A = this chain, B = another copy of it.
Amino acid sequence: MAEYIESLARLAEQFARLEGVGKKSAMRMAFSVLELEKEEVADFAHALTDAKEKIHLCPVCQNLTDKELCPICADPGRDRSTVCVVTDPRALLAMEKVREFSGVYHVLHGVISPMNGITPEKLKIKELLARVGEGEIKEVIVATDPTVEGEATALYLSKLLKPLGVKVTRLAYGVPVGADLEYADEVTLFRALEGRREV
């Protein structure tokens, strides 16, 4: 039946393009749109184009913003000598929730992944090098994910950054707070043991 209604199938296809949305969910969402009022659907369509039009990358840190600079780069209270490098804007959000980091960020928009055709040139790496080249930055904290690709990207960055005379650090590995040791994987436990600290 759904395949008979072309415009419904096309709408479902659009939802299915979004990250983490499968075919079944996409179809459910398309049906759900039809239950909205006509004006509500028009608002939805407007919100889509509006967000895409207004939001661009902050020219300093490459974070998303609808202003000239992102709110963090525009904040005079942030410490510009420490830069935390994150994979994407969502990782930045997660770091900001900690409320402990007072430095600034740099968003790579991905990790190096030759298998998926993501070479270093496709990431915001030259923008990072340009920032470090300006001389104000003293430490770069590489907070890419603790995955194979995240690690490789961190290694790649540290090789480029160290010759520029900045301190390059990485987030600590270890057992997550509140987790059950029984369920921690061996690599994590090994890293936690390796990084043990005196109490």
| B31–A42 CB distance below 8 A | no
Give the most central of A31, A33, A48, A88: most B CB within 10 Å.
A48
Q: How many copies does the complex hold?
A: 2
30 chain-A/chain-B pairs, Cβ below 8 angstroms: A1-B71, A2-B93, A4-B65, A5-B55, A5-B65, A5-B66, A7-B50, A7-B54, A7-B55, A8-B55, A8-B64, A11-B50, A14-B44, A14-B48, A17-B40, A18-B33, A19-B28, A19-B29, A20-B25, A21-B29, A28-B90, A31-B64, A31-B88, A33-B51, A34-B51, A34-B64, A41-B48, A42-B49, A44-B48, A45-B45
A197 part of interface (Cβ distance < 8 Å):
no
| B50–A10 CB distance below 8 A | yes
